[in-house]
Structure 1
Amino acid sequence: MTTIALVTGANKGLGRETVRRLAALGWDVFLTARDEARGRAAAAELAVRFIPLDVTSDESVTAAAKTVHHQVGRLDVLVNNAGVGAPHTAVDETRAADLQDVFDVNVLGPVRVTNAFLPLLRAAEHPRIVMVSSTLGSIPFSGQPHVLDAVPPQLGYPAAKAALNMITVQYARALDGIKVNAVEPGYTATDLTGHRGHQTVAEGAGPIVRLARIGPDGPTGGFFDQEGTAPW
């Protein structure tokens, strides 16, 4: 039976590379993106299915889930990849309104998408969910000297990824029979990092693909990076 996967925010960067790698395995992959023109172009290049999906819109997410239901009737793998950065505003100058966009996409987005696709995941024999997170949301990691030297204090992005990590753990506890894990791709050259990352997208997508491919005896409720287990 062909494995069916869906990747959010996949018209470029890590999402696009993840789609490419999963399709190369012979999987039936849905590439989703908020920008319909770019999403359709990427899907055509990769010879995969396309669905428009804006993770900040309940209506868009519901429509995407209905499309998958009508076309294939189940979902084996959900990769919650869509994410945005946040303005590098000084902590003491950051307002609540400055956090709304990054939390809506990076935290509420995965909740919207996961909840909408749960019936399709439960229809699969061995469902998996991969949350694309970051060790910038890890409290032990954020306190390391090299991080303190390299990353200025900020509220938005680290707090959003820390929230996503906790959401991952709670889903893993609650969703019996569904493997739910978070992954740190590493510092990858994408639009999100201003292409300053030292990894290629091929390298960054590696841990995502690895977690998408776990078997029934694989982990759940974990946080993983290129080397293995990452600190919460």
Structure 2
Amino acid sequence: MGLVILVTGANRGIGRGLVAHYLAQPDTTVLGAVRDASSLNATELDELPKGEGSRLIVVSLSANNPMDATEAILEIQMQHLIGHIDIAVANAGICDHYGPVEEMTDSDVLSHFEVNTLGPLRLFRAISPLLRKASVPKFAYISTALASIHMIEQIPSLTAAYGMSKVAGNYLVKKIDAENKEFIALLIDPGMVQTDMGSRAAQANGLEKAPVTLKETVQGITYQIEVATKSTTSGQFVNYKGEKVCW
């Protein structure tokens, strides 16, 4: 079967870029998880170039639905006969609140935790049996420099709900690494990328456009995943260039 790689948030931005990268490799099965597999963005994924012997399987998986991850994994096992997953990239995320803390509501915070923290937890619980069947299982979480408590003063932002949820996500992945000696788990800051989310962040910071191209971050993220080992970057917070990010 070759490598089996799962990417959440696969229909746009970094997720789509990761799917395109992996799908272009030979003998690779890419599991593209999207909120709605029947949407135009999702169906267009099948038009991406495929390496020899590679295939794409698109499944519906909404990070804020408690049962979606379990149902999606059951689908790929029963309908598509997937017996293992080598790499899982928890990429799906939201950044929907912009404003000072005093204007942030409980629902703002909870909605971000639902997707950015509970989403990866639900995903890991669902796929861990399949990861355990891989020779070198890897679980990557697309984090953000805004989750660095150390750099709060250095990176002013109005995205506290997003940052809080990503800090919790970082803790989760660090804990996964500590509890599972056979898993390589790492957290990657993709940079401020030229995507819808990254462009909004750039404009909020007075920039004409985000400084990191999609190609740059995809190349960096996939390289960091490829070279990660248990003794090097597993359990570490790094950026797409491989530089350590302060917690």
Q: TM-score, normalised by structure 1?
A: 0.91
Higher deviation after alignment, 205-214 or 68-77: 205-214
**Alpha-carbon distance in structure 2 between the residues aligned to 1:46 and 1:68:** 22
Q: Where do 1:91-130 residues align within 5 Å?
A: 91-130=101-140
**Alpha-carbon distance in structure 2 between the residues aligned to 1:75 and 1:163:** 25
Alignment check: 8 A CA contact 1:7 1:81 kept: yes
Cα deviation 1:94-147 (Å, max 9, x = unaligned): 121121211111010000001100000011111000000001000112222xx2
Shift of 1:68: 2.5
Q: TM-score, normalised by structure 2?
A: 0.86
Identity of aligned residues (%): 26
Which of residues 234, 238, 243 in structure 2 aligns to 1:220?
Answer: 234
- The count of residues paired between Structure 1 and Structure 2 equals 227
**Alpha-carbon distance in structure 1 between the residues aligned to 2:3 and 2:228:** 12
**Alpha-carbon distance in structure 1 between the residues aligned to 2:212 and 2:108:** 29
**Alpha-carbon distance in structure 1 between the residues aligned to 2:160 and 2:98:** 9
Alignment check: 8 A CA contact 1:131 1:182 kept: yes
Are positions 1:230 and 2:245 aligned together? yes
Change (3 A) 1:60 1:213: same
**Alpha-carbon distance in structure 2 between the residues aligned to 1:214 and 1:187:** 22
**Alpha-carbon distance in structure 1 between the residues aligned to 2:223 and 2:162:** 24
**Which residue in 1 is equivalent to 2:176?**
171
Shift of 1:44: 3.6
**Structure with higher helix content:** 1
Could you tell me which amino acid in structure 2 is paired with residue 203 of structure 1? E
Shift of 1:39: 1.4
Change (3 A) 1:29 1:66: same
Could you tell me which amino acid in structure 2 is paired with residue 62 of structure 1? T
Listed as ranges, the gaps of 5+ residues in structure 1 are none
Segments of 4+ in structure 1 off by > 6 A?
Answer: none
Aligned-partner SS, 1:177: coil
**Alpha-carbon distance in structure 2 between the residues aligned to 1:215 and 1:101:** 31
Are positions 1:18 and 2:18 aligned together? yes
Alignment check: 8 A CA contact 2:33 2:60 kept: yes
Listed as ranges, the gaps of 5+ residues in structure 2 are 51-55, 201-208
Alignment check: 8 A CA contact 2:184 2:228 kept: no
Could you tell me which amino acid in structure 2 is paired with residue 174 of structure 1? E
Name the Cα RMSD after superposition.
1.7
